Chains A and B, each alone.
Chain A
């Protein structure tokens, strides 16, 4: 049996959608609560930007859990803390928040260890999955950003990762060499955290971009959270720095420290204590329920969560760590 394709790769279907997408230069600033209510719906395909716990749109992930969205398909592209947050929705929501996953990297938080809750969700067998590599998912977003149904690439061949994926093997029409055809992925909703955006959605990112400029263009609907709103004049004074243009964007939400407890380059480092605590508390289901009730369901927005995590004093410490003013981070 061929593994299922969770996202329609048809470039023609995508064009029909993009034909109707608004292009006007209008104010898109709204709260995270309103953005999630308006643009994330049950049963949709969700792709989260950043790289694991680096430049993570945490506030939107929390809000999706808080609003108890369900039956989402997730792009598991280096999905570490984001996947861990969303996995709460399979316990504290209306049913399955995560119903299907295109897996390149999930469950783990890199060197920090595996998430017990994310493991429970996947090992229960209640989630339908297919396998990919990180580059394959990046190529799938790139194909969509290019308005194509697929792109060729040269990994995954010969492995079980390929067998559990709906990717296909093709021959190069010029050289006859075997290639992998990675189907385009046009997510229903993309969510990306950036350093700066104007009210219309023109975005600046500092540091590594991961797959986000392609993800932004591939997504049918796009929610941006930003550290800072900046004037449109700033954007126009140096347009070379715009990595995501306004016409890709549907919502702009200003969320200072919005990648917390993840790292935000040139702003603040990751809160390793909080991430360690989160992993630890997942070991006991009753304790974990209390934790999620307190930190996600018990607050009305992300700022209240930041207050619970130590507020400005904590953010100040993480900023000092980012600037290497305190080298004892790892003690």
Chain B
């Protein structure tokens, strides 16, 4: 088997490594779901996967297409309601969630509502919050997996759909969101980012092999610094790649997109 890998395969491996065994994670379809499946087959066999439509602890036979399709509760512990899943988050029992968006800013706030200036007549109407705002408000740690470019990593969002650290330290708590929650990691095709403990601004923790800070800054629409010591991301291991390609996504539904 080739140990050469594409950026999507690396991103999924990085995301999977963050998920600790015995924890809970609310995922959507696509890369986050692949990451959760890979984690279950490597370092976190007892990771409990939740889908917002009501699927709890499935043994996923294939990649789901929808957050509500029947794969999301295949051989599951429970098929329940959306409110039950969201209220599990609201009670403080959901450790991680994966989110995405058309835009993300330095505080990890996300836009999935619209592109343009006029809310009543948007240039591009996007789906809206869906469950993203709920999961970002109610889960302990928010993970984002996304491609890294200037169109996406922006100084100012066109619409703040989903809360990151809002406008900085203390803002989530002041708004009434649960203390101790917030953005945790951003995994892109260039690097892994975290958030500065004091300023709550995004910072680079680890550069992917062959990537420089200049490339990261060049693809980021806001000033971004590196946390010392700046690390280099470990490439996918042979085992990770084998499981990802043979068991998690054999039809290359996700990893074929890179």
Contact = CB atoms under 8 A, between A and B. Distances in A.
A123 B53 contact: no
Interface stretch (B13-21, B64-72, B147-155, B221-229): B64-72
A131 B134 contact: no
Contact of A134 (B52, B79, B125): B52
A330 B253 contact: yes
Interface stretch (A28-36, A88-96, A104-112, A183-191): A104-112
Contact of A125 (B55, B120, B163): B120
A328 B81 contact: no
Interface in A213-272: 213-214, 263-266, 269-270, 272
A158 B79 CA distance: 32
B222 to A, nearest CB: 18
Interface stretch (A59-67, A136-144, A279-287, A300-308): A136-144
A299 interface: no
B176 A330 contact: no
Nearest to B162: A159
B176 A134 contact: no
Given A54-B70, A138-B86, A329 B128 contact: no
A10 interface: no
Interface string A157-188: 11111001000010000000111100000000
A210 B129 contact: no
Contacts of B63: 330
B171 A135 contact: no
B205 interface: no
B161 A159 contact: yes
Q: Which of B80, B132, B134, B177 has the most CB of A within 10 A?
A: B134
B144 to A, nearest CB: 16
A122 interface: yes
A161 B161 contact: yes
Q: Which of B120, B176, B253 has the most CB of A within 10 A?
A: B176
B67 A51 contact: yes
A142 B73 CA distance: 23
B121 A210 contact: no
Interface string A271-313: 0100000000000000000000000000000000000000000
A209 interface: yes
A112 B133 contact: no
Interface in B66-123: 66-70, 72-73, 79-83, 86, 90, 109, 113, 119-123
Contacts of A139: 83
A210 B54 CA distance: 6
B29 interface: yes
Given A54-B68, A270-B69, A134 B130 contact: yes
A9 to B, nearest CB: 18
A107 B125 contact: yes
A130 to B, nearest CB: 10
A120 B113 CA distance: 15
A154 interface: yes
Contacts of A207: 54, 70, 73, 79
A212 B131 CA distance: 16
A106 B127 contact: yes
Contact of A159 (B30, B54, B160): B160
Nearest to A118: B125
A157 B122 contact: no
Nearest to A108: B127
A156 B83 contact: no
Contact of B130 (A104, A114, A180, A213): A104
Given A52-B66, A135-B82, A138-B83, A157 B128 contact: no
Contacts of A153: 90
B246 to A, nearest CB: 13
Interface in A33-60: 50-55
B68 A123 contact: no
Interface in B3-62: 28-30, 51-55, 61-62
Given A123-B122, A210-B68, A133 B29 contact: no
A119 interface: yes
Interface string A65-88: 000000000001010100000000
Contacts of A132: 128-129
Interface string B132-149: 111011100000000000
Contacts of B1: none
A208 B122 CA distance: 34
A118 B72 CA distance: 26
Given A112-B65, A207-B70, A210-B82, A105 B120 contact: no
Contacts of B73: 207-208, 265
Nearest to B250: A327
A263 B66 contact: yes
14 contacts: A76-B128, A107-B127, A111-B29, A111-B65, A123-B124, A123-B125, A134-B129, A153-B90, A158-B172, A161-B162, A180-B176, A208-B81, A208-B82, A214-B83
Please give me the 10 A-B residue pairs with the lowest Cβ-Cβ distance, nearest first: A178-B176, A51-B68, A158-B175, A208-B54, A155-B137, A108-B127, A125-B121, A54-B68, A105-B130, A265-B70
Given A124-B121, A331-B251, 13 more contacts: A54-B53, A54-B70, A104-B129, A114-B126, A133-B131, A134-B82, A154-B176, A155-B138, A159-B163, A161-B128, A214-B81, A265-B73, A330-B62
